[in-house]
Amino acid sequence: MKRLFTSESVTNGHPDKVCDQIADGILDALLAEDPASRSACEVIAEPGAVHIMGEITTKAKIDPIAIARNVIKDIGYTKSEYGFDDKANITCSIHEQSGDIAMGVDSSYSDPSTLGAGDQGMMFGYASSDGEESMPLAATLSRRLTMGLRDARVSGKLSYLRPDGKSQVTIEYDGRTPKRIDTVVVSAQHDPDVALEDLRHDIKEKIIKALLPSDMLDENTKYFINPTGRFVLGGPAADTGLTGRKIIADTYGGYAHHGGGAFSGKDPTKVDRTASLALRQIAKTIVEAGIASECELQAAYAIGVAEPVSLLVTAFGTGKVSEDKLTSWVLDNFDLRPSGMIEHLNLRRPIYRDSASFGAFGRTDVKLPWEEVDQNLVESLRKLV
């Protein structure tokens, strides 16, 4: 059965991603000095201004405002004509984590010797055999385009580009098998003096056709490049940014379920981040072992309770063993308590800003522990068949 599915990606200069990177830049600085830091940091960005807020409990001595300026500069917002740059007015109002929450995290309801979950909620992990990244293809390709925009800007290959930008890729599927690219959308922020026809030609030839698989593009593929005709004002100067508003682009492009919890600014005791990372690794392990070509896990937690209240493994009819057997294997081989996931993935360290733009999963440009698969576990899985 023919069907179309679309995923989007945004550049690191998108206003929401500016906020995510500041929040995770602060988290990384906290963990570098005090690995036991607790953080639930939120950021707002608007024309010429940034506000940092949230709950942080730590022994670390950091300067959140200086960190924010460095992140903004690193992204590429360095010119006043952008309407937002590293000279922005930055304010900060941070307070400590609620004692009521801390009490449940410090000592689990069921086992006072271990951490409890930092909140209730459900989390998902997913992997598929669509490509080497074990990700849905539309998510992989849309991200490839936004990273291409970033690289072309930073290298000077397309020197008129500015930091903000978006992409969308629509894949035509036959059942659950990707067949061709139906539509490509790219919107790239640019200097005011570049001709629209030059920009459209450059992006089509030097970004889209250079980065997308040529055997999936055909004469019927549709291209929409800067369809409004002008995108000079961008970033927080054009659209207020906020942490946690790109949760679909951060994960699986909408192809898999999402529990609703954002990642950036949250320390590892927050299960909406940590469990999502751990479940991604488990799903990827199952797919790379060849036990299923597609796998999704859901876990749910209660605040202050260490053990998940539920675990569901789904293979979408592609599994070589029963889902009950897969669930038993997961429970036998992974500790899904917060302390177990933190220790297994070594999460109390400054590794988060790298995943705050261009997605947390399927990354091959940065080293992320939840993307690494233990080959011993792969072999133990294959013995189930």
Residue ranges at the known binding site for L-methionine: 55, 97, 239, 270
Residue 223: both structure tokens together: 């291209």
Specify which residues 178 forms β-bridges with.
173
Give the Cβ contact number of residue 278 at 10 Å: 27
Alpha helices in 34-178, H assignment, sequence order: 64-75, 99-106, 137-155
Phi/psi at 153 (5° precision) = -70, -50
Please enumerate in sequence order all residues whose Cβ is within 8 A of that of 135, keeping only pairs 6 or more positions apart, or say none: 127, 128, 252, 361, 362
Closest CA relative to residue 134, chosen from 340, 1, 291: 291
Find the angle CA(39)-CA(28)-CA(278) to the nearest 5 degrees.
75
- In one-letter notation, the amino acid at residue 292 is A
Between the CA atoms of 121, 341, 282 and 252, what dihedral angle is there, to the nearest 10 degrees? 50
Alpha-carbon distance 39 to 62, whole Å?
13
Alpha-carbon distance 262 to 246, whole Å?
8
Give the Cβ contact number of residue 338 at 10 Å: 28
In the sheet where 2-10 sits, what is the strand order? 2-10, 161-174, 177-190, 222-225
Residue 34: both structure tokens together: 């005090």
Please enumerate in sequence order all residues whose Cβ is within 8 A of that of 99, keeping only pairs 6 or more positions apart, or say none: none
Which run of H or E residues covers position 339? helix 338-345
Alpha-carbon distance 287 to 315, whole Å?
9
Give the residue ranges of the annotated binding site.
14, 16, 42, 55, 97, 164-166, 230-231, 239, 245-246, 262, 266, 270
Give the residue ranges of the annotated binding site for Mg(2+).
16
Give the residue ranges of the annotated binding site for ATP.
14, 164-166, 230-231, 239, 245-246, 262, 266
Closest CA relative to residue 228, chosen from 201, 182, 194, 189: 189
Residue 320: both structure tokens together: 């070589």
Residue 254: both structure tokens together: 């909408």
- In one-letter notation, the amino acid at residue 326 is L
Give the residue ranges of the annotated binding site for K(+).
42
Alpha-carbon distance 202 to 209, whole Å?
10
